[in-house]
Amino acid sequence: MGEALPDENTPPHPPTLGATRKDVIVVELPELPELPELPEPPGHPGIAVSSLDGLVARLKGEVFTPEDAGYARELAGFNRIARHRPDVVVVARSAEDVSTAVSFAAREGLPVGAQATGHGIAAPASGGVLVATRRMNAVAVDPLTRTAYVEAGAQWHQVISAAAPHGLAPLNGSSPLVGVVGYTLGGGLGPLGRQFGFAADHVTRIEVVTADGSVRQVTRDRYPELFWALRGGKGNFGIVTGLWFGLMPVRRLYGGGIYFPGERAAQLLRTWRQWTATVPEEMTSSVSLLRLPDVPDVPEFLRGTFAAHVRIAFTGLSGEGERLVRPLRGCGTPLADSVAEMPYAAVADIHQDPTHPLPYHERNIVLRELGSEAVDAFLRVAGVGSSCGDLMVEVRHLGGALSRPADVPNAVGVREGAYTLSTLSPPGSPDVVLGPMGPWSTGRRYLNFLAGADTADSVAECFDPESLSRLARVKAAVDPDNLFRLNHNIAPRP
């Protein structure tokens, strides 16, 4: 990749944000629920007790093996579609712990994975070392430089809360419970995307543990190829232990959601499709078709029914937002309408994503267009009377800043699309929506909207051939043995 990594380690250090470190938040985490007993992993006979003892002695955090109480609890992630069964779980509490865990895995010849929240599980760890980072969750905000720093396990709600008092907002996703690092490394497509671009576009510095156990400080000037690859290539190049990124001057939104009965889905989708061609970049929106179960976690008016949900995030004046949204409100009598002036801190109210763990496949394609023929095809496979059993089928509007290159180029690979089309499906559900929509696809997928072991081989479709080849060369330079392969893997190639 045209750059060599020096042999010396860069020692971990406290973050510096401008002249001061402000608004530091460290969350006390609740205990994870214990999962049912798991079958034992295949095991790795080469791990000696003395090696495990040495690992424990060098860590601030804890080590769990399948024989230990608490092993299953540490594996519990948000998406239960697949389960990790590693030989060793390392509960990291610092960058030094991550370095120690990676060095141990390299010596033992074991693959390495990392988990903060477990929303985007791809290849489950069957054997190997899983580094649990959720306890590394400090957040710092510097309002003078409009910059935030997060540790590996921080979640978006922490950054939103720290930035809001200063009239600032991060480029978070629709759910505030998602981990900041994994989301950002996969691109980061959120409610402010059309105005400000992908979250990865605003990263300024990355602290990462590479396969040799070194802790590297990576910027546009230091290891520029690795900096390019990390921002879009996700967890293929190391375990990120610290992330610095810019915040946006957004204090409030005209935003929320409007729910319509399912029989209004066709009119809503056709109206919204035409409407998206007219709105300014300050407007980011999506439409979701919902078939939610009759369970207590679901709002009563949505339980066991078919509904259409349009989501709105507009950073302009409320009066202008109300005028823009008027055609959508004209699609019928809503089941609920929460679109109004709101503080940015309430951004989670827009999408109303699930807050309790559940199992689901997440799949997607990127659409180059959504003309009338595409809408008709979509309604046949996902609308009223279709055989679709997906919990959610969502179309998100792209364009605007999402279609422009980042100021510092990165590996995010879906800028040519007009919309994303994604599905959340119950376990074992086949794809009945994306395949028929193939004629309108760009041939690309968005990396962050892939979850479940059945998506592990889709990584090649997330990048153009030139970018994928470049990513493989970076991988060969920093992880030639593919130590970090428990993910949507990019194999090393010279």
Q: Where are the domains of the chain?
A: 252-461
pLDDT at 90: 97
Cα(78)–Cα(153) distance, integer angstroms: 13
Calculate what percentage of the chain has a pLDDT beyond 90. 81
- When mean pLDDT is compared across 93-107, 229-243, 253-267, 453-467, the lowest value belongs to 453-467
3-state secondary structure of 419: strand
Confidence of residue 94 (pLDDT cuts 50, 70, 90): very high
- When mean pLDDT is compared across 14-18, 113-117, 487-491, the lowest value belongs to 14-18
Element (H, E) at 366: strand 361-367
In the numeric block, the tokens 């130590």 are attached to 483
Confidence of residue 461 (pLDDT cuts 50, 70, 90): very high
b/e sequence 280-293, b meaning 16+ C-beta within 10 Å: eebbbbbbbbbbbe
pLDDT above 70 for 31: no
> 142 pairs with which residues across the strands?
147
Confidence of residue 12 (pLDDT cuts 50, 70, 90): very low
Mean pLDDT of 454-475: 94
Between the alpha carbon of residue 140 and those of residues 24, 241, 464, the distances in Å are: 4, 14, 35
Mean pLDDT of 283-295: 96
pLDDT at 249: 98
Label residue 339 left, alpha or beta by phi (over 0 means left) and psi (-120 to 50 means alpha).
beta
Cα(388)–Cα(34) distance, integer angstroms: 33
pLDDT at 35: 47
pTM: predicted TM-score of the whole model, two decimal places = 0.92
Tokens coding 246: 């810019």
Chain segment 389-407, per-residue pLDDT in tens? 999 999 999 999 999 999 9
What CATH number does the domain located at 252-461 have?
3.40.462.20
More confidently predicted of 337 and 27: 337
Cα(419)–Cα(444) distance, integer angstroms: 11
Contact (CB, 8 A) for 164 and 249: no
Between the alpha carbon of residue 251 and those of residues 169, 170, 244, 248, the distances in Å are: 7, 11, 21, 9
Contact (CB, 8 A) for 178 and 117: yes
* CA-based nearest residue to 86, from 62, 105, 65, 116: 65
- The mean pLDDT of the chain is 91
Cα(51)–Cα(140) distance, integer angstroms: 36
- Cβ neighbours of residue 60 under 8 Å, at least 6 residues apart? 93, 94, 96, 97
* CA-based nearest residue to 304, from 294, 289, 290, 295: 294
